[in-house]
Structure formats: C-alpha cells, structure tokens
Structure 1
Amino acid sequence: MAKEKKKLTAAQKRAKKEAKAERQKKYMWVFMNGKQVRVKRPPTIDGIPVDEYIEQNSDPIWRHQNGKHEVLHARELVEESETEDDVPF
C-alpha cells in the first residue's frame, strides 16, 4: 500500500504560501524553444519598468548628462506635434 501523507501544520502552510508569493515576485514564466522556463523579472520602480519610469520622470538636463539623447529627441517631437494640434480657442 501507498504511504499516507502527513498534513502540513498551519505554520508550514503559511511558510509555503509566503515562499510561493516571493518566487512569483522574483521570477516569471516564459516560453523558449517550445518549453516553459522561469526567468527573473525585469527591475521595476513602482510597478513601472525602469526605462519607462526614467522617460516619464526625468528632466532634459539629466537625460542629456546621462546620454539619453534618443528619449530627449523623441519627447521634443511629441511636444512639437502636441502644440501643432492645439486648437487656439
């Protein structure tokens, strides 16, 4: 006959649940070559990817000093198009 499984105590269940939640925060599942693999999640700030956070919250001087010229140029283009689309009322 099969060996009977012992039930986990409340503390063991809690520890198992906390460990699972921590793993889910740290890793994510993706498909590579037809297989499901676990990879580390990209770093985030307030739930937003770091690059996007920098684009939203950095000023032009910081971007220039840190070599983010493509972001600086892209933002200028967006601002120009917004000013052209404004209706003068």
Structure 2
Amino acid sequence: MAKVKKKLTPTQRRARKFAKAERQKKYQWIFMNGRQVRTKRPPTVDGIPVDQFIDENADPLWLHQNELWELIPVENSTSSFDPVPESVETEDENGVPF
C-alpha cells in the first residue's frame, strides 16, 4: 500500500521557499574530490569580493590604520628616507668610487 504525501499549506510553502533563498545566499555548491560539497560563500561588498573592493576604494590612511601596507601605492619620487639620493655623486669624473 502506497502512502499519500501530504501537501504543504501556503504558509509552509512560503517558509520553505524563504529558507531555500537564505541558504542559497549563504552557501554555494562546489566539487571537491569528485563530490559535490556545500561550502560558505566568500564575503562580498556590493557583489564584488572584499579584496577587490578594498583595492579599488581604500585610501592610504585607512590601509595604514588596518596594517595593509602592501596595498599602499608607492610614488616614484625620491623620499627623505633614501640612503643615497640621486643628486649625490658617488664617483669622481674618472668613474672611481669615493
């Protein structure tokens, strides 16, 4: 004898549909070792990855405050911290170092 499957009420269908939409926002399906696995989605800001958003929108002060020094753009001018400025000559007219 086959059992008859009970239909969901409209409220239950709405709740199930909402729960499914929330799961799809939180998780993604990927393949690992030939099997399909559900993993958490990487964080995004306005639909783009966080790293890319920071690269495009962060100013140098914010990057410094958050210790992201490798992302701070470097200008091509000589700074006062250069050990040997370009204006100082290290060789005499014959090419002999001092």
What TM-score comes out, normalization by structure 2 length? 0.68
- Could you list the structure 1 runs, at least 4 aligned residues long, displaced by more than 6 angstroms after superposition: none
What residue number does 1:2 align with? 2
Counterparts of residues 45-84 of structure 1 (less than 5 Å): 45-73=45-73
Root mean square deviation, CA, Å: 1.9
Question: Unpaired runs of 5+ in structure 1?
Answer: 78-89
- Residue 76 of structure 1 deviates from its aligned partner by 6.0
What residue number does 1:32 align with? 32
Equivalent residue letter for 1:20: K
- With over 3 angstroms needed to count, the CA separation of the structure-2 counterparts of 1:31 and 1:76, relative to structure 1, is farther
What TM-score comes out, normalization by structure 1 length? 0.74
Identity %: 66
Secondary structure in 1 matching 2:72: helix
What residue number does 1:42 align with? 42
- Residue 71 of structure 1 deviates from its aligned partner by 2.3
Equivalent-residue separation in structure 2 for 1:63 and 1:39 (angstroms): 30
| Structure in which a larger fraction of residues adopt helix | 1
Secondary structure in 2 matching 1:7: coil
Higher relative contact order (CA 8 A, sep 6+): 1
